[in-house]
Structure 1
Amino acid sequence: MNILNTYKSIFGAAIALALAAFTFVSCDEDLVYPEQSKLPPATYNTSEWDIAAYSTQEDQDGEGPSPYGRAIAILDGNTDTFWHSCWNGCTPTVPHFISVDMKTEKEVAGFYLVQRQSLTRNIESLELLTSNDGSSWTSQGVYTLEKIKSQQVLELNETQTFRYYKMEIKSVFDGTNHAALAELVPYISYN
């Protein structure tokens, strides 16, 4: 019996030491504060942002209750909601645009875009523009998109700082004047 109790004491102490070894806090700076270049791109919180202007939106409930069809849907983080150009009692022509006020200047490396998930009225090409005052715009380029449900990355040539961004739709895959989009949000890269 003495040997059994001694074995239990030694075995219990060994387990306690092993557990203690796994419950330490690392002082390795790379583990606590990783190099920014090791972090993935991150989107901003868009909940306080506003749609500054738009050329068209389906606000006659043709797509259902808000936010469906409205421009604000491109900022809600929900790929099931979407903006749609007006079609219920109107027929706007391309180019369509939506501009966003981020409320403060932000550093942006690019944009994440998600097409409408039904893959109808998807955007084929668009121009991204940026501004610090909402009236003088600088083109960041024209982008050709894919007709896919997954997220697409629209990378800027270099990181820019601005308060407003605008997408101007140039063409739609089905060749009509109607367009739709689920999400368009900027991201910051730590590289």
Structure 2
Amino acid sequence: MRRIMKQNILKAAILAAGFCCTVGCSDNDSDLTIYIPDAGTAVKANFYIEDEPYVQTFNVAVTPETYPQLTEYGLPNDAVVHLQADPGKVDEYNAKNGTEYELLPEAAYDLTEEVLVKAGTPKSEEAVITVHAKGNIEAFKEYLLPVSITSVEGAVADHCCQTIYFIFRGSMDASNMELLDRTGWEALSASSEEPKEGDWGHSGLKEACLDGDLNTFWGTDWSTQHPQPPHWIVIDLKKTTHIQGFACQAREEGYDGPKEVTVEVSDDNATWTVAAKFTDIPAQGEFRSFLPAAVDGRYLKVTITAVNGGPHVTVSELNLF
């Protein structure tokens, strides 16, 4: 009987020792600390600005004194980690890295302010940054959001690796952009026109690329002079206009449309600034693209330097967004 009891006591001791090993019970438990993986580095997040918010997640983790060797088993008890955005670190980051990031606006995000690290696990549940980009940030602009551990309950914060830096950049899908209202726009001049297209109901005049009718188009002269590229057209937008992107529609037959285009803007129809150059424009359908950077101007000049299919060009519609 005594022998059996001794065996049971021994088994219990072995099980207890095994449990302690599993959850990290050791003389070194007090050395386990909490840190943020990737702390100190920039985590870049690129996304489309849409009605639905963008969600970014990250974790905090457990590390022993021998950091960066990570613990496999975690803490012997639950721990609660408190997180906050840390705006004061934006200037510090910019000074150190030679950057000029602005802080992500407060209205543009929600942040999980505490996460749980369960006993026996090496990292926390996910912390969530929900970015409400639409209406709160500027497209194609990068914003910085530092997030820091502010306090820990049930464990100790590590001596380093307490702040992570997120760089958020929202972009737009050009195909979803609303085109600018062209009411009042006027085609002032063009390198040439082809009025004979009117015999087939296609117009051929420069105004046709602003009429909203895909059956008509502006076409360059093919009946008399046969000009070679470049072909150009100048449009008066009637007021200074903020321009983010350019769109052109090929004629429905799908040939002799623009292949390479230079877009310029002007305030006086005399001094021009190149806003964008586009190449490899498809022969069919509508082409849309953002400009490298948004511009403002009253006058628009579109110069076609190469054509799909031949020297003459036709353009059904020109638009901006």
> Does the alignment reach a TM-score above 0.5?
yes
Partner of 1:155: 290
Partner of 1:53: 189
Partner of 1:130: 265
In structure 2, distance between residues paired with 1:37 and 1:97: 38
Give the paired residue count. 151
Partner of 2:282: 146
Q: Percent identity?
A: 23
User: Where do residues 169-188 of structure 1 align in structure 2 (5 Å cutoff)?
Assistant: 169-174=304-309, 176-187=310-321
Q: 1:108 aligns with which of 221, 237, 243?
A: 243
In structure 2, distance between residues paired with 1:88 and 1:166: 24
In structure 2, distance between residues paired with 1:138 and 1:65: 37
Structure 2 letter corresponding to 1:48:
G
Per-residue CA shift, 1:145-167, capped at 9, x if unaligned? Answer: 11122x21121112211101111
Secondary structure in 2 aligned to 1:62? helix
Superposition deviation, residue 55 in structure 1: 0.5
2:256 paired with 1:121: yes
Superposition TM-score, scaled by structure 1 size: 0.72
Partner of 1:90: 225
In structure 1, distance between residues paired with 2:236 and 2:186: 5
Maintained 8 Å contact 1:101/1:163: yes
In structure 2, distance between residues paired with 1:172 and 1:48: 28
Secondary structure in 1 aligned to 2:207? helix
User: Where do residues 21-100 of structure 1 align in structure 2 (5 Å cutoff)?
Assistant: 35-36=134-135, 40-59=176-195, 61-64=196-199, 68-100=203-235
In structure 2, distance between residues paired with 1:62 and 1:148: 19
Per-residue CA shift, 1:37-77, capped at 9, x if unaligned? Answer: 79952222213111121101102x23437762111111112
Partner of 1:3: none
Secondary structure in 1 aligned to 2:208? helix
Partner of 1:166: 301
Structure 1 letter corresponding to 2:270:
S
More RCO (CA 8 Å, sep 6+): 1
Maintained 8 Å contact 1:97/1:167: yes
Higher CA-based Rg: 2
The structure 1 segments of at least 4 consecutive aligned residues displaced by more than 4 Å after TM superposition are: 37-40
In structure 2, distance between residues paired with 1:51 and 1:96: 14
Per-residue CA shift, 1:65-106, capped at 9, x if unaligned? Answer: 776211111111222211110112221121110010000011
Point out the more displaced range, 40-49 or 126-135. Answer: 40-49
Structure 2 letter corresponding to 1:58:
E
In structure 2, distance between residues paired with 1:148 and 1:160: 27
In structure 1, distance between residues paired with 2:202 and 2:242: 27
Superposition TM-score, scaled by structure 2 size: 0.44
Maintained 8 Å contact 1:68/1:82: yes
Unaligned 5+ runs, structure 2: 1-133, 138-171
Q: Over the residues paired in the alignment, what is the CA RMSD in angstroms? A: 2.2
In structure 1, distance between residues paired with 2:201 and 2:187: 14
Maintained 8 Å contact 1:113/1:154: no
